[in-house]
Amino acid sequence: MNSETSTNKILRAVLYERLSKEDGDKLTKEEKSESIKNQDLMLRSYAIEHGYEIVGVYNDEDWSGADSSRPQFNEMIKACEAGEIDVVIAKTQSRFARDMELIERYLHNKFLEWNVQFKSVVDHIDNTRRETKKTSQILGLTDEWYLEDTSINIKETLRAKRASGEFTGSFAPYGYDRDPENKNHLIIDPVASETVKQIFENYINGMGLKTIARYLNDNFVASPYEYKMSKGSNLKLAYLDNYLVYDYIEKAGLYKIDISYINESREILHNLISYNIFSKDKKNFDNKCKLYLKNYSEKKMKIYYTTDNDIDYNNFDVKKWTLLRKDDLIPFDTTCIATVVEVLDRKHTINYQFDILLENNIEHEKYYFDVIQITNDEKKIIDYEKNIRKKCKWCDQMIKKILTDEVYIGNLVQSKTTNVSYKNKKKVKKDKENWIRVENTHERIISLEQWLKVQERLKQRVRANKNGYYNPFIHKLYCKCCGKIYCRTGDSNHVYFRCKDQQEKYKSCDNRSSISKDELNNFALVKINELLNRFYNEEQLKEFKEKDNDSDLFKSRINSLNKELIDVNKELQNKKTYFQHLYEDKISGLLDTDEYLILKSKYKDDSEKLENRAAKIKEELKLINDKKAILKTKETIYGKYKHIDCIDIDIVSDFIDRIYIGKYNKETNTRDMKIVWNFES
């Protein structure tokens, strides 16, 4: 296959150049460029010296040699398989790949099958020469060891940084930016942080997750992904595949249209005018969709609209057009949009964006965005690119992720996931015990008090009604007769609560009368105000202050949870001992395989339930201990209120642990009810 032995044919060669991530991290931008140039010069000289015809150059910069998804690498492999390449030249075998599996698959198998020769300049590997095969395999093995050692070193370095409270993520969390003076430190983003505050405040005020998401979308607040993109981020999300590029808009939704002018010429273009039409027929502007002007540079371009039907595309008269500003809604009677760029420098690109909201499209009509482009001075059409994609919107899961992220109270919780191995980049979740949590690493956006209110409510798994607001007594009402929870019934105008037993097929509880929302509100309101009146009575206050103020409001609950955790752990240990005996019985023949598998399955189910309960107990203990930092005494709670005029979820959460509702007495027109407070009353 060597050109020296193939006198009748000039072999087609490609150069494969790669700069690894490991090298890239150590080099400046200029040094990276120089490294690739040196590789290119070396490989070209080698190809010329051996009489090869260079038919292509493949370059993967900032890619690991163990990564089989390298784009240029895979393009080269396709060309080899298609018979378009005779020789692949690389500086070293490790530049081609550091993965033994890739070396064996291609160099010693597929390349020979496809009649492709591989040659490395420095370590002299030639896959067509038997004497270099063992050298190639040894190099592949040592390269793989190097990768494994490098991976371990990187992980240990990152672990040390995380343990010391340094941020190691690729992108700052929504609401924060990287500190320009220290990339491992977070600083508050003044714009996104206001949205974070709004999300927490709305949730505390009773809005549900979906309602908050809908509110943000209705008010065109950019989602975290869209916000990062607007700031020039190169963040890529795997689930966005279905959002990328449309030729037209057909389904209802919110879309982004990005138009870029590209000056590929060596001349500077002056007075560039483009006319934009959003239509079904590619001729007449359509007003069914709501069109908003979004991102563009006001210094570099001006954007106008007109309502005239008679448009002279060859002579732009600014007097007949109206200037648009960022975030403007394009009027419904618009007939055309024009962009004016005074100067577009050589080899430069300029772009602008629209948001388009298609609320419904029962007829499944197709809406197109078309551009007519000319320059006034030379009447020259230039290149442009048009990209239409569906915008990422806020959803309830995004809201929940923000509400549960400790980053907003100044804590960093990192190392939640890890790669399967240095070869397999798939992420797997780590157990919570192995997360790295460091407090007070950066400025908080949310107060600890707000955070605890939100976590308490999320823990209750409260669901909002159809208007997006919560029932303040959710998970607080219990039947005094049978102990079952009280459930909501009735409609939005007439809300009642009754014992859950009454919803079951076979009713066993004789507490059958329901209680109205108004009666419940009034009862709680009276009882809480009675507490407050007693507290603010001077004699009571004096007596209270003489008592031991060091009493712990949460002591009973903490003791109860700790006892339960001990019992759960003891039961888990018993299960493990039981399973060990079970396995021994199987080995000894006391249990057949089917019996063993049935009992093993039950053991796994029981153990999983116990482990989940242990995890929940630990979470609740942590939440209580955090809450103690703010609500340390009964006086702290009372101090927040003097008199209450109406019941809301925060008041109920502060005062009431649960309410027991008894039977209704028709003779006395009364009901037996008892409140269990969050503290000794």
Report the share of the chain in percent with pLDDT over 70: 86
- Residue 543: the pLDDT is 54
DSSP label of 76: H
**β-strand pairing of 87-90 with 117-120:** parallel
Residues facing residue 477 across a β-bridge: 659
Q: Output the domain CATH number for residue 287.
A: 2.60.40
**Domain match, 261 and 324 both:** yes
Rg (CA), the chain: 35
- Residue 24: the pLDDT is 46
**Domain match, 506 and 655 both:** yes
Query: Poorest-confidence range of 297-306, 412-421, 456-465, 599-608?
Result: 456-465
Q: Is residue 146 included in any domain, yes or no?
A: yes
The tokens for 444 are 């908080």
Distance CA 634, CA 396 (A): 35
* Inter-axis angle of helices 209-218 and 192-204, nearest 10: 140
**Domain match, 374 and 408 both:** no
Q: Is residue 616 included in any domain, yes or no?
A: yes
Q: Is residue 167 included in any domain, yes or no?
A: no
Whether 561 has a pLDDT exceeding 50, the answer reads yes
Quote the number of domains for the chain: 5
Distance CA 56, CA 16 (A): 9
Last residue of a domain, one of 372, 390, 408: 390
**Mean pLDDT value across residues 161-172:** 90
Average pLDDT, the chain: 82
399 burial type by CB count under 10 A (0-12 exposed, 13-18 middle, 19+ buried): buried
Last residue of a domain, one of 365, 390, 415: 390
Distance CA 369, CA 373 (A): 13
- Residue 199: the pLDDT is 95
136 burial type by CB count under 10 A (0-12 exposed, 13-18 middle, 19+ buried): buried
**Domain match, 489 and 529 both:** yes
Whether 114 has a pLDDT exceeding 80, the answer reads yes
**Domain match, 314 and 413 both:** no
Distance CA 674, CA 477 (A): 10
- Residue 645: the pLDDT is 87
Residue span of the structural domain in which 572 resides: 555-630
Q: HSE-up of 179 (CA within 13 Å, CB side)?
A: 13
Among residues 233, 223, 236, 252, the alpha carbon closest in space to that of 244 is found at: 236
Distance CA 16, CA 106 (A): 14
Query: Poorest-confidence range of 215-224, 280-289, 550-559?
Result: 550-559
Distance CA 368, CA 358 (A): 12
Q: Is residue 5 included in any domain, yes or no?
A: no
Query: pLDDT for 430-481, tens place per residue?
Result: 887 888 999 999 999 999 888 888 887 787 655 555 555 567 887 788 998 8
Q: Is residue 500 included in any domain, yes or no?
A: yes
Distance CA 659, CA 675 (A): 4
**Domain match, 513 and 655 both:** yes
**Domain match, 48 and 103 both:** yes
Contacts 24+ apart (CB under 8 A), 443-446: 443/187, 443/188, 443/410, 444/408, 444/409, 444/410, 445/175, 445/188, 445/193, 445/196, 445/197, 445/408, 445/409, 446/196, 446/197, 446/200, 446/408, 446/409
For residue 506, name the pLDDT band (cuts at 50, 70, 90): confident
**Domain match, 504 and 649 both:** yes
Query: pLDDT for 125-149, tens place per residue?
Result: 999 998 899 999 899 888 888 877 8
**Domain match, 268 and 342 both:** yes
Q: Is residue 213 included in any domain, yes or no?
A: yes
How many Cβ atoms from other residues are within 10 Å of residue 292's Cβ? 18
For residue 263, name the pLDDT band (cuts at 50, 70, 90): confident
- Residue 596: the pLDDT is 76
For residue 650, name the pLDDT band (cuts at 50, 70, 90): confident
- Residue 425: the pLDDT is 66
**Domain match, 146 and 264 both:** no
Residue of 465 and 421 predicted with greater confidence? 421
For residue 222, name the pLDDT band (cuts at 50, 70, 90): confident
Q: Which residue has the tokens 């924060």?
A: 176
- Residue 23: the pLDDT is 53
DSSP string over 389-419: EEPP---HHHHHHHHT-GGGGT-EEE--EEE
Q: Is residue 203 included in any domain, yes or no?
A: yes
Whether 203 has a pLDDT exceeding 60, the answer reads yes
Residues in the chain: 681
**β-strand pairing of 495-499 with 486-490:** antiparallel
DSSP string over 11-56: PEEEEEEEE-HHHHTTS-HHHHHHHHHHHHHHHHHHHHHTT-EEEE
**Contact predicate 442/410, CB 8 Å:** yes
HEC secondary structure over 470-494: CCCCCCCEEECCCCCEEEEEECCCC
**Domain match, 523 and 571 both:** no
Among residues 107, 105, 95, the alpha carbon closest in space to that of 19 is found at: 95
Residue of 541 and 123 predicted with greater confidence? 123
Among residues 43, 36, 19, 20, the alpha carbon closest in space to that of 121 is found at: 43
**Domain match, 662 and 532 both:** yes
Query: Poorest-confidence range of 122-136, 168-182, 576-590?
Result: 576-590
**Contact predicate 64/20, CB 8 Å:** yes
* Position 341, amino acid: V
Q: Is residue 27 included in any domain, yes or no?
A: yes
DSSP string over 95-107: HH-S-HHHIIIII
Distance CA 291, CA 243 (A): 19
**Mean pLDDT value across residues 530-539:** 75
Predicted TM-score (pTM) of this structure: 0.58
